[in-house]
Structure 1
């Protein structure tokens, strides 16, 4: 159950119920027949978290297999090149008969930060439909990944594929910078990275001026799941943004699952000192257990030192656009708490 719940967290909310199909390895084109390679485009060798890929410069047709990678594409202003989109949370009910994401599912969500309405849905991020991806003739496939994630070999036979793990050093900055080199948009990437840092500095000053750190020098980020299990995040998922605001860690995890956090006991939470701010960062969809946690004995005990921060629908866990929103919204919630 623990592994299942954490995998659900990794995939933003829950696995999509979209019907997916795979093709046999023999049905996937060899590297010699890849569309991008066949056109003889100038290429760049990228070392990523799943290996090494030779990627055509300035590719025009992108398949993006999850919201994490989509956030980087959005940050570089390249959403118009996305011809295929995978997701952790979208399913058949979110699609038009033509296999596009319904406009009402895009509105009000992270997906609305770019132009994605023309992209064809290619299935769940962990088991995309390889036949659909093949039919889209992508020049490049981009995805977030983790140790043990499948399909890299088959995806690479369709088009150059790059994958980035949130456990790895630099995570979204490395992914963003690698893609920026591919598209010749290094200046844009550095500008957005600086924007993140400037946002954090401005918000840190606001928190300091309000005396927040005298009350709460420490903070924890927890994610309560409906039906059981509360995770303490130790890396990547909001906690890095909270540290950038100036907070120290209120708890240390003895172990981590997939490198980003682990289950925290009620006893450990009840042992938190009053100078530790508790930031509840719920998973999405049916796994959101924030309301149940706040109504529990533990949630009520910590209520006076807790803020609940809800990300946008379809939001990635991390990335430049996410970090800017995290910094601004968490700062706003904290300032409201201490006033």
Structure 2
């Protein structure tokens, strides 16, 4: 009888220990499955983003550019392909899903992809709530009046999310060096500049604090007109205006070419009126890459190349 009692006690002990072990294992499994997150403050609020997400849908081409530069193209599962900048054409490949247009997202397709993270920008801000129902969403927008700090903060956030802090730090340092050289050149050359965007036959001017104010505010090119209205769509101007202001440097962005239509900037700009300017006479009219400037500003590659284009335009 005594032996039987000891045997029963031994079995109970084994069962208790086993149960405790299983409970501990379950707790460990739950703990390991809990995803680490990074809190990101953005244009539409604050979001807890899963650390190092594996599947990302990207509507912000500047951030697509940055992901590409950081070697994270394998994380991209979907993007709008209709107006993709030519330098990012590899993302037209069928292995990347098309998720609608910049202003008309295909939410059904996005949901099917089951992303870990969605990155949007101003064109999609009004639909932010719809995006965040599908997955954690960050609305990354550039502050045009504080361009470089905004660009750096956005890029550093991407670095935090994907554990690429060191690579981001190195890339930003190289861009800082380029900016410094461009500023030095702008001071050496002197002269005043004007930035315009053409859309079909229309011309809009952009000054300090505007969408393309980087040229003046960051790279040090003095504006030929300090009273240009700082707005997203620019100030409507004419060839006569350009002639009257007579800039030493004229920087031109072709919106038509950016959105896949026939580029018309040169024929709009280089008429007999504008040919009277110092910019034309000194061959200082620079046609900027619309992919960088109109579609994907704020990316590691785009900002670097934008600085280079302005620097070349000043030489």
Structure 2-normalised TM-score?
0.75
The verdict on how the C-alpha distance between 1:312 and 1:264 changes in structure 2, with shifts beyond 3 A counting, is: closer
> Is the CA contact 2:61–2:299 (under 8 Å) kept in the aligned structure 1?
no
Q: CA deviation at 1:132?
A: 0.6
Matched, 1:156 2:153: no
Match of 2:208 among 231, 234, 256: 234
For residues 152 and 208 of structure 2, the distance between their equivalents in structure 1, rounded to whole angstroms, comes to 18
1:132 is aligned to 109
Q: CA offset at residue 116 of structure 1?
A: 6.3
2:174 counterpart residue number: 195
2:36 is the counterpart of 1:42: yes
Computing the radius of gyration over CA atoms, which structure comes out larger, 1 or 2?
Answer: 2
Give the conservation status (yes or no) of the 8 Å contact 2:57–2:119: yes
Aligned match of 2:267: 292
Pairing partner for 1:251 from 225, 240, 251:
225
Does the residue aligned with 1:47 lie in a helix, a strand or coil? Answer: strand
The structure in which a higher percent of residues are helix is: 2
Which residue of 316, 320, 326 maps to 2:306?
Answer: 326
CA deviation map 1:152-208 (0-9, x unaligned): 111001000001223464332222111211112122112111111112223444566
1:263 paired with 2:236, answer yes
For the residues of structure 2 that align with 1:254 and 1:245, how far apart are their CA atoms?
18
Q: Given that residues 221 and 280 in structure 1 are in contact (C-alpha distance below 8 angstroms), is that contact kept between their aligned partners in structure 2?
A: yes
Q: C-alpha separation between the residues in 2 aligned to 1:116 and 1:253?
A: 45
Query: Residue 225 of structure 2 aligns to a residue in which SS?
Result: coil
Structure 2, unaligned stretches of length 5 or more? 1-32
Q: Distance in 1 between matches of 2:261 and 2:59?
A: 21
Rounded Cα–Cα distance in structure 2 between residues aligned with 1:233 and 1:287:
26
Cα RMSD of the aligned pairs, angstroms, is 2.9
User: Do the aligned partners of 2:207 and 2:226 also contact (CA within 8 Å) in 1?
Assistant: no
- State the TM-score, normalized to the length of structure 1: 0.70
Q: Secondary structure at the match of 1:234?
A: coil
Match of 1:212 in 2: 189
Which fold has the larger relative contact order, with Cα–Cα distance below 8 Å and residues 6 or more apart in sequence? 1
Structure 1 residue 242 displacement after superposition:
5.3
Whether the 8 Å contact between 2:56 and 2:117 is mirrored in structure 1 is yes
Q: Could you tell me which residue of structure 2 aligns to residue 281 of structure 1?
A: 253
Cα deviation, 1:3-25, whole Å, max 9, x if unaligned, reads xxxxxxxxxxxxxxxxxxxxxxx
- 1:27 alignment partner in structure 2: none
Q: d(CA) in 2 for partners of 1:50 and 1:152?
A: 7
